[in-house]
Structure 1
Amino acid sequence: MYGAPHSPGTAAMTHDGIGTIETGRWPARRTAVMDWLVNGTHDERFLDRLFLELCRRLEGADVPLLRAVVILQIDNPQWSGVRAMWRRGAAAVEARMSGFDARLGASYLVSPTHDIHEGMAEVRARLWDSDPAGDPYPLYAELRADGVTDYVAWPLLFTQGRRNVVTFATDRLGGFSDDDIGLLADLVPVLAAVADVRVKNRLARTLLDTYVGPHAGEAILNGATRRGTGFTVEAAIVVVDLRGFTAISDLWPRDDVIALLNDYFDALSEPIERHGGEILKFMGDGLLAIFPDDAQAAIGAVADIRTAMAALNAGRVADGRDALGYGVGVNYGDVMYGNIGSRTRLDFTVIGPAVNVASRLEALTKEVGVPALFSGAFVERTRCGAALRRLGSYPLRGVGQPLDVYTFADGEA
């Protein structure tokens, strides 16, 4: 049969055979697993490792778990959720990401997860003594095939009204005992609290990585939040700009402009990140990136940008659209890396003459008719002259002396 729902951690609830918990009394029974979850998890940053240890401790407390699953809604540019599953004997939790269309499929719409998201307090299935013909969810056939005899799912109630899900399953003949269900139900509110903290910590890191980059995000999380604070680093600086964007944005529909920019920035960003660079900001139709750890990697990134842009433009031309022009300026030098802005709005970025030179080189690409230019300072620092050829010395606006300027030796656009 399927059990009647109850809500873990509420002021009054009944577990069959345990008796009614007096109003306001929680947990029903103090356990070593509960003590650990409340007092022993402060130093564990990662929810998957915490969940793994929780399942191992439940095994040690003779709770006959076969598998346990946490299903979380997350805020991520690429994913809408994550499903983390532990199985008996596993050395790690298996995580699987879900895309933004996951909630449109039948596997979600007819599932315990959907019903708990919609407000159900519990889903319980004693599969060992129920008729498969009466199964309300297709999931139960999968559970039966896995040897599951008893299954329970509860909401993990996070702040801001977000409902996530935890499930437990056993293969023991006769299913979970009343004591097992009571122990698990008592743990759920604490698990929700510790999971909420870690999900929000992960969210903060994800958002910082997304909007300011991993190096800047790490610095901010470590306390670099005061205006005017920062440090000096030596780095290769890369500035990229799209040609003719003003005309495109004036003439094209908004959605087409956004789609173009996304394709364009994918072609730029993936090579930069693959070669260890960090994108500090997107500036309309341009970007600013640095390579603080390996300046020489910048030349490989720019070479791959050429390849990616050539592929993008080939597809555009095949579709009857114009190819996109662009310019890249690369310099090397000291930059100030830190917080700049007003008292209430800060930007964690780089400034300095070396950044200005990279920007001037990008502008110079239009005059000399090549897509990428490198400064003499970059070539001297990285010793990559064999891959480049010198174009000559050029005066740059705001720079005292003409600078040696290089481009790719193969001369490809």
Structure 2
Amino acid sequence: MAPSLREPGQWPLHRTRILDWLMSGTRDERFADRIFHQLCDQLRAAGIPIVRATLQFRIQHPQWLGARILWRNGLAEAEIQTYEHGAMESPEYLDSPVAEVHGGAPEVRRQLTLPPEAGEYSLFAQLRAEGLTDYVAWPLEHTLGRRHVITFATDVPGGLSDEDVAFLQDLLPAFSLVSEIRLKNRLARTLLETYVGPHASDEILAGAITRGSGRSVSAAIMVCDLRDFTGISELWPRDDVIDLLNEYFDAVCEPVERRGGEILKFVGDGLLAVFPLDRPTACDDLIQAVSEARESMRILNADHHRNGRAVLRYGVGIHVGEVMYGNIGSRGRLDFTVIGPAVNAAARLENLTKTVRRPVLLSKAFADVANNPSAFESIGSFPLRGFGEEMEVFGLVGDPAVTSIDELPLLDAAR
């Protein structure tokens, strides 16, 4: 049985051990949820009778506003729940001790053995139903006024003693420091993944941050671009144009990333993606991603057509070859991207879709290395700007050419 902190002389010893562990023993642990789980286990071992604890972070993420880490005594892992942007306007958040702490309260404490009070938080009824007797929430202060929330609850009849509460509060500054370091490490990775992609972010975090650093890789390259976007952007309200672009990029990018590709760059209404050839299925994955993206675009265009909005035309150029993958730019502003003739060829093929009236074009070099060459058909050889010889160009089998570019949205919307 764990010793009780109520025994004389035990409090300073246990506090020192846990503080030493927080400051020195967590150096090799990257994740705040694991440290929080271990901290709660150590508190139990030190005699603090907690059975439930939460850590609620507000984070900077393109999808999530925040996350809650829930620890329960006896569970092997902490439970992590994320919250979408807008959650702080929800009734569930507004009716919570977390909202009160975010609003500036230094503490929210409730003895759950007392009768319910009028207007008390609905969480307290839930905790009573679980057999808990005492609950406390405190702010977890990070730098520059960033405030998060930590809570503890117990099921012992007398609730948390004054010594228990003082012990927990004494650990908060050290845990705040340790958790902030992990949160900012995760933030750095999240921001890099958001703006340059997961593979490029790994390269940058591994030290590829000097101008000219990089390496040559073999990759399948995809360039996609919208048609007539300038006209749309001039006629539509600004917010509608942004919504349209986001819908288009969702339709195209989600299949690319799902199939192992990496989006390296958005340029206006265009995008550049690569599928490194270190995977034998890279070319097939790219074609599958294009097929799924086109289906998503078909659904999007059908919705636009029903609602009297402009349907979206697009072109896709695909090539394969060696590219330089790394940092280019000025001394103080770098871009992690791919460059080389193979990228230029993919861009020229995308531009050629306007002339040959095919939405997807790929090079013979790509068709030769793909595992399913029967899926492609040659449509002839064409001169590409910047390339000396004509290039044989392929389309997808069963992908009909259209006699007028104006037919393309109707075909896409009607399929």
Tell me, yes or no, whether TM beats 0.5: yes
2:387 is aligned to: 399
The counterpart of 1:152, out of the listed 109, 126, 136, is: 136
**Could you give the per-residue CA deviations for residues 248-291 of structure 1, whole angstroms, max 9, x where no partner exists?**
11111101110110111111111101111000011100000000
> Which stretch of the first structure deviates more once superposed, 365-374 or 292-301?
292-301
User: 1:37 aligned to 14, 22, 33, which one?
Assistant: 22
Residue aligning to 2:50: 65
Pair 1:87 & 2:75 matched: no
- Give the CA deviation at 1:28: 10
Aligned partner of residue 50 in structure 2, secondary structure: coil
Match of 1:192 in 2: 176
Aligned pairs for 1:11-160 (under 5 A) are: 30-128=15-113, 130-134=114-118, 136-160=120-144
Q: Which amino acid aligns with 1:78?
A: Q
Residue 225 of structure 2 is matched in structure 1 by: 241
Mapped partners of 1:286, 1:324: distance in 2: 13
* TM-aligned CA deviation for residue 31 of structure 1: 2.9
Q: 1:297 aligns with which of 280, 285, 293?
A: 285
Number of residue pairs aligned between Structure 1 and Structure 2: 388
Residues in 2 aligned to 1:321 and 1:125: alpha-carbon distance in whole angstroms: 54
State the SS of the aligned residue for 2:283. coil
1:306-326 deviations in Å (ceiling 9; x for gaps)? 111111111111111222100
Q: How far apart, in 2, do the equivalents of 1:102 and 1:401 lie?
A: 57
Q: What is the identity, as a one-letter code, of the residue corresponding to 2:204?
A: I
Query: Which residue matches 1:7?
Result: none
Query: Using the alignment, how far apart are the partners of 1:250 and 1:406 within structure 2?
Result: 34
Contact 1:29 1:183 in 2 (8 A): no
Distance 1:245 1:74 in 2: 34
Distance across 1 between alignment mates of 2:297 and 2:119: 53
Moved more, 102-111 or 270-279: 102-111
Which of 240, 253, 257 is 1:269 aligned to? Answer: 253
- The secondary structure found in structure 1 opposite 2:216 is strand
CA drift at 1:224: 0.5
User: Is 1:377–2:360 an aligned residue pair?
Assistant: no
Q: Against the structure 1 CA distance between its residues 401 and 383, is the aligned structure 2 distance closer, same or farther, given a 3 Å change threshold?
A: farther
> 1:65-106, CA deviations, whole angstroms, 9 ceiling, x for partnerless residues?
111100000111111110110111111111111122211123
Question: Structure 2 residue aligned with 1:354, among 318, 328, 342?
Answer: 342
Aligned 8 A contact 2:223 2:316 in 1:
yes
Which residue in the other structure is 1:4 paired with?
none
Q: Distance in 2 between matches of 1:95 and 1:48?
A: 8
Q: In 2, distance between residues paired with 1:133 and 1:118?
A: 21
The offset of 1:192, in angstroms, is 0.9
Q: CA RMSD in A?
A: 1.6
From 262, 282, 295, the equivalent of 1:307 is 295
Q: Secondary structure at the match of 1:66?
A: strand
Among residues 144, 166, 179, which one is paired with 1:182 in the alignment? 166
1:105-138, CA deviations, whole angstroms, 9 ceiling, x for partnerless residues? 232223211111111111111222x221356322
**SS in structure 1 opposite 2:318?**
strand
> Given the alignment, which residue of 199, 204, 215 partners 2:199?
215
Report the residue type matching 1:353 in the other structure. P
Amino acid at match of 1:43: D
Quote the offset at 1:191 in angstroms: 1.1
Q: Kindly indicate whether the alpha-carbon contact (under 8 Å) linking 1:387 and 1:408 is maintained by their aligned counterparts in 2.
A: yes
CA offsets 1:188-209 (integer angstroms, 9 cap, x no match):
1111111111111111111111
Give, as a single letter, the amino acid of the residue that structure 2 aligns with 1:147: G
Paired AA for residue 358 in structure 2: V
Using the aligned pairs only, state the percent identity. Answer: 54
Aligned to 1:22: none
On the 8 A contact 2:52/2:73 being kept in 1, the answer is: yes
Residue of 207, 225, 230 corresponding to 2:209: 225
Instruction: Letter of the 1:59 partner, please give it.
Output: R
For residue 391 of structure 1, give the secondary structure of its aligned residue in structure 2.
Answer: strand
Structure 2: gaps spanning 5 or more residues:
1-5, 401-411
